[in-house]
Amino acid sequence: MTDAASRHQPVLLQRCVDLLAPSLDHEGAVAIDGTLGMGGHTEALLEQCPGVTVVGIDRDRDAIGLASQRLARFGGRFVAHHAEYDDIAGALARVGAERCDGVLLDLGVSSLQIDEDDRGFSYSRDAPLDMRMNREDPLTAADLLRDADERELTRILREYGEERFAARIAEAIVRRRDVSPVVRSADLVDLVRACIPAAKRVPGSNPAKRTFQALRIAVNRELEVLERAMPAAIEGTRVGGRIVVMAYQSLEDRIVKTALAAGSTSSAPHGMPVVPDDDQPYLRLLTRGAEKASAAEAEENPRATSVRLRAAERTRPTPPARLRRAA
């Protein structure tokens, strides 16, 4: 428990609890922490909402092991679920519930994964290029760099990393394969640095940052999972329940924003005097735009620097017609 707590400082911890607490203030409440990590947010919910049971989802068995040790003192109020975080239905089934009272998603790579050298997530330490959040998945970043053709590598770097020099980096990766594949993070950093002109590098930032982000997203299918997770979270939340999502880059945030905006606005043509039932909103936004961490928190916890928090409350069931349109 001490190890997990000392290695992880949760982002916007109290703000997340404050947003979720109004829907968790009754005996028998159920919350889902879709991105359990080392259990910091779940611990705070269990401490501050004494009637709640939290199901913590994580695809990383190492994270589940550490969090379970940390949260053992709460007994049956904490339940772990090894899965990707779009499996809201599976998490609910673990506690025999049809819907929950609150969902928390803290997206992106966890502190545990970054800090473990052998995971290969960090561009600041040399390690094998693994990058799997679930070590049981078959594809590693090294596999992707070895097998993907130049066109696919360019697409991944451009789409998931928003890398301006994607084509140049992809070409260099493929050319390097004729000698030996790129299998270590230090080699990839050196290769990317050589592809980006010094004048175009951002001072104080590693030039390989976008490439590492892109490969991590591709290996773990992060955007695909998020596209499924948002509707699953909304439909898995009861009326009066709340959903809180923290994103750390624009691709994630765009998906979150789109899903919450769709639920919080009428789908009727503008100007209709009476909005039909099937076009009524079913969410109420709890944040104005995306909230960011304070300067003080960002200085104390660097991971909070890029966070964008959005939250919504379920106000009514989704009209069947809108469910059919989204399917």
Same domain for 175 and 78: no
Mark whether 32 and 160 lie in a shared domain: no
- Write out pLDDT tens, residues 89-131: 999 999 999 999 999 999 988 777 777 777 888 888 899 999 9
Residue 6 pLDDT exceeds 60: no
Residue 123 is labelled as binding a ligand: no
pLDDT: is 117 or 240 the higher one?
Answer: 240
Beta strands across the sheet bearing 29-33: 78-82, 52-58, 29-33, 100-106, 237-247, 308-314, 283-285
Least confident of 48-52, 77-81, 274-278: 274-278
Domain co-membership, 7 together with 35: yes
Start-to-end Cα distance in the chain: 42
Write down the pLDDT at residue 327: 64
- Name which residue leads in pLDDT, 255 or 113: 255
Beta strand 308-314 pairing with 237-247: antiparallel
Q: Tell me the two tokens of residue 46.
A: 């269990």
- Number of structural domains found in the chain: 2
Q: Which among 173, 205, 220 is the end of a domain?
A: 220
- 289 plus 265 within the same structural domain: yes
Which of 155, 190, 220 is at the close of a domain? 220
Same domain, 193 and 53: no
28 is in an annotated binding site: no
Q: Among 205, 220, 235, give the residue marking a domain's end.
A: 220
Residues 226, 94, single domain; the answer is yes
Same domain, yes or no, for 202 and 263? no
The reply to whether 157 and 186 lie within a common domain is: yes
Q: List pLDDT tens digits, range 289-319.
A: 999 999 999 999 988 999 999 999 999 999 8
Is residue 310 domain-shared with residue 255, that is, in the same domain?
Answer: yes
Query: Is 113 annotated to bind ligand?
Result: yes
Please indicate if the annotation marks 40 as binding a ligand: yes
Domain residues for the domain of 121 are: 117-220
Residue 282 assigned ligand-binding role: no
| pLDDT value, residue 175 | 96
